[in-house]
Amino acid sequence: MLRLCSMLLLVTVIFQMDVAADDQPSPQMVVVASDAGAGGYEAFPDVCRLRDGRLMCVYYAGYGHVSLPNAKYPRGGRIAYSLSEDEGRTWSDPQTLHDGP
């Protein structure tokens, strides 16, 4: 009987936590960059705040997980960045930070 009561209590707590979570507004998804000019594969983002208050998102840009140099992209993947002046609601077009193998 004690085990059944413990299980019911656990289910009740989990249900209440789930309902409470639904009361919170869902975070809005924002696309920082969909193609930084190296094949449309952007990954491994990191965001930091600059001294002037803007946000800077730095990420890998390539044509795949590992983008080796080829005829279309002779330097392979690159490191790109985008800036936000409104706390991440909108982002600048991608800029190249480092373009090389």
Break the chain into its structural domains and give their ranges.
41-99
Answer whether residue 20 shows pLDDT above 70. no
d(CA 60, CA 42): 6
pTM confidence score: 0.69
User: Which tens digits make up the pLDDT trace of 61-100?
Assistant: 999 988 888 888 888 889 999 999 999 999 999 999 998 7
Residue 35: C-alpha distances to residues 38, 54, 77, 79 (Å) = 7, 22, 12, 12
